[in-house]
Structure 1
Amino acid sequence: MSELYHNRILELAAEIPHVGRLADAEGSVTKVSRVCGSVVHVDLKLDEAGETVTEIAVDPKACALGQAATSILAEHAPGAPISEIIATRDALKAMLKDGGPPPEGRFWELRHLEPVADYPPRHASTMLAFDAAVAAIEEALQKRAAAREAAE
């Protein structure tokens, strides 16, 4: 277990940026791990084209692993294309469940969570932030589509 909670994981967990809520969020999702009870809430806004995250706020009530993943998400999501966030969520899942390589690019620090692959009960809490972010993106895009449809 000590390899899971090394110094960089603890540093990330202690330094989560953009903690709070966005009053005017386009997407707002809470995810809960049934295994451990960890909870992460993500609010976000997208650019006008609906292709890039412009703002994010997070509210994690999670273990150090979930907080570290939330910290990495919150630090690098503003300015990230939604396609990159979705791809990173998929790569993180593959790393944990299938022995895939760690995500690269702006979310490269998720590599610090690679030892979690050996602890399946910790997978859900590690995934919470990215699962919530992707769900919030989907919610924001659905709201925009519904607004366009109503305007027609």
Structure 2
Amino acid sequence: MSDETDLIKLYSARILALAADIPHLGRLETPEATVKRRSPLCGSTVTVDVVMRDGKVAEMAQDVKACALGQAAAAVTGKAALGATTAQLIKARDQLRAMLKEDGPVPDAPFDGFEVLTPATAYKNRHASILLSIEALTEAAETAVTAERIGEA
């Protein structure tokens, strides 16, 4: 298969549709935690705001400045995020990382939408952009839960 055919496959209609429909775009007025992540290789950035309730994502917003793959990953993250626990986020992040870097399986539901990005496993230079949203959300959720625990003490 030629490089051009590979790129066409990589930027499938499903990926482009996800990239065009990212849930929870924008910023929250009063987040409990905010995390900004940047991919040094391509310059993509994602900023995630989060509010946690009872250890679960109650509200989130994300400002996404990324390639189509990073945008598609942000869409999958956004669709699955509400109601997720920090443990689920950590597991999804780690499973996505393993899927991309170690040919691991697709992350468990509700993050199984990352399956659309399996063609990107061959493009190591795209992995960081794909991971931005789930990494930022996971870090923000952990920060918010830690702050909540400190406030209770």
Instruction: Quickly name the TM-score band, shorter chain normalised.
Output: over 0.9
The correspondence of residues 94-133 of structure 1 with structure 2, limited to 5 A, is 94-133=98-137
- Provide the residue aligned with 1:22 in structure 2: 28
**Pairs within 5 Å for 1:47-86:** 47=53, 49=54, 51-86=55-90
Quote the offset at 1:9 in angstroms.
Answer: 0.3
- List per-residue Cα deviations over 1:68-122 (Å, max 9, x = no partner): 0101111121112221111111100000000101112111110010111101100
Q: Aligned residues: percent identity?
A: 43
- Between the aligned partners of 2:44 and 2:10, the Cα distance in structure 1 is 17
1:130-141 aligned within 5 A = 130-141=134-145
Segments of 5+ residues of structure 1 without an aligned counterpart are: none
Point out the more displaced range, 101-110 or 60-69: 101-110
Partner SS state of residue 18, structure 1? coil
Contact residue 69 and residue 130 of structure 2 kept, 8 A: yes
Structure 1 residue aligned with 2:47: 41
Query: Quick one: which amino acid aligns to residue 117 of structure 2?
Result: L
RMSD value, Cα: 1.0
Q: 1:12 is paired with a residue of what secondary structure?
A: helix
Alignment partners' CA distance in 2, 1:106 and 1:147: 30
Flag structure 2 segments of 5+ consecutive residues without an equivalent.
Answer: 1-6
Report the count of equivalent residues. 147
2: CA distance, partners of 1:26 / 1:43: 7
Which deviates further from its counterpart, 25-34 or 101-110?
101-110
Residue 4 of structure 1 aligns with which residue?
Answer: 10
- Distance in 1, matches of 2:10 and 2:124, equals 12
Equivalent residue letter for 1:93? R
TM-score (norm 2): 0.92
Could you report, residue by residue, the CA deviation over 1:8-60 in whole angstroms, capped at 9, with x for unpaired residues?
0000000011111111111110000000000001111111x3x2111110110
| Number of the residue aligned with 2:4 | none
